[in-house]
Structure 1
């Protein structure tokens, strides 16, 4: 049974050869795929297509992938849909920039289609709903994480988190008071092996801190080790 069967993927890239290849591979996995070579059509198409995940190229004319991602995150209907950036700009600074703009993952061109499919599966797995047994409501100080509603609030005000940020905060709150290494977070949140770039963690932690700023930054850095959620 194909793990991606039935998933709806919207691919946005101005290179038809790239979109054709990805579309073909995902269709073989049982996905329903929509392709756009014009980034200006993304929001309208996405509202109709209702994708489970976006694949965005960054370097596109008129509207680059980073701006498209910001539009997605600002849209009430699309803001929680995960985004994977697929781009020729593979330097560390570019990856960090993509994650800071709300991306959930970042793959550099040229890419291996098998890796891309595995990354898509990983992102969809952590963004999907849990089973009834797994659903929790975690409270620490003014922070409330409700897994059933997939909602986080600080002092009664809802905070918008990406799927990855939500899972990261959930893990930190579940193990509050305990130090979690970057490698531990990569394995449990990203399902990656420990050879993956750990700066990915630092970028997401920084974004999470900014969004939880109303609670005096409960995520503590343990220098040279990792991070800890401070119990309130």
Structure 2
């Protein structure tokens, strides 16, 4: 029998906490709950969950600080985090992603959508590539890290170093949202300076070169970019 994934839900609003707990439990998850950041940190350390649903607006230690502490601890740094945010907290979304959160859901939210996002993040985490040199084949797009070669419909595409790095970084985690700063950190090299502003320019050029596959790279308004999840 496959063990249930354990989800830690953190929210100081009792009705939301119960709503999320009930719906996730009904989907077959083991759910543990905390209504403060301090309790969340203790639970996460004592019974390491498979995923954390974390409200940003918490009394005491807020959600951003909780995420930062969890991502800096060896025991919990690998645990995916989905942030719950109020609409209009765009800056907090960016900050949360910067400190290591994997996705976000805005309030008010549909429990069905949250459940789907939870399953998607768990699925993506389990599918993280282990062989950094393996060729990625995504429908009509092929990316060979070892040869630094990209093809679309069998035709090789001439990408710059930075364009290739951005494409490889995003395509390895389809559906994950990354801020411009995260992309900079992932692709920056001593001989290839990249800035937040130049990421947008690189993305425009990359999409153009990829042609029909350019739409695979999606803009997340006010946040950054992601690679489209494709079946």
Q: Please tell me the TM-score bracket, short chain as reference.
A: 0.5 to 0.7
Structure 2 unaligned blocks of 5 or more: 135-142, 151-158, 210-231
Change (3 A) 1:86 1:174: farther
CA RMSD of superposed structures (Å): 3.6
**Counterpart for residue 210 of structure 1:** 185
The correspondence for 2:45, drawn from 44, 47, 50, is: 47
**Counterpart for residue 217 of structure 2:** none
Change (3 A) 1:187 1:138: closer
Task: Give the whole-Å Cα distance in 2 for the aligned partners of 1:172 and 1:96.
Answer: 30
Tell me the TM-score normalized by structure 1: 0.65
Q: Would the aligned equivalents of 2:6 and 2:51 in 1 still touch at CA under 8 Å?
A: yes
Change (3 A) 1:211 1:186: closer
Give 3-state SS (helix, strand or coil) of 2:44's partner.
helix
- Could you report, residue by residue, the CA deviation over 1:61-109 in whole angstroms, capped at 9, with x for unpaired residues? 1111000000001111000100000021444333222211211001110
The correspondence for 1:189, drawn from 160, 169, 173, is: 173
Structure 1 unaligned blocks of 5 or more: 140-170, 193-199
Q: Would the aligned equivalents of 1:209 and 1:217 in 2 still touch at CA under 8 Å?
A: no
Q: Would the aligned equivalents of 1:12 and 1:57 in 2 still touch at CA under 8 Å?
A: yes
**Counterpart for residue 128 of structure 1:** 126
**How big is the shift at 1:173?**
3.9
Task: Give the whole-Å Cα distance in 1 for the aligned partners of 2:184 and 2:99.
Answer: 15
**Counterpart for residue 73 of structure 2:** 75
Change (3 A) 1:187 1:16: farther
- Could you report, residue by residue, the CA deviation over 1:24-65 in whole angstroms, capped at 9, with x for unpaired residues? 001111100000012112222112211000111001111110
Task: Give the whole-Å Cα distance in 1 for the aligned partners of 2:55 and 2:144.
Answer: 31
Q: Would the aligned equivalents of 1:123 and 1:190 in 2 still touch at CA under 8 Å?
A: no
Residue correspondences, number: 182
Q: Would the aligned equivalents of 1:13 and 1:36 in 2 still touch at CA under 8 Å?
A: yes
Alignment of 1:213-228 (within 5 A): 213=188, 216=191, 221=199, 222-226=202-206
Task: Give the whole-Å Cα distance in 2 for the aligned partners of 1:177 and 1:91.
Answer: 39
Tell me the TM-score normalized by structure 2: 0.65
- Could you report, residue by residue, the CA deviation over 1:181-208 in whole angstroms, capped at 9, with x for unpaired residues? 999987873448xxxxxxx44x1x5224
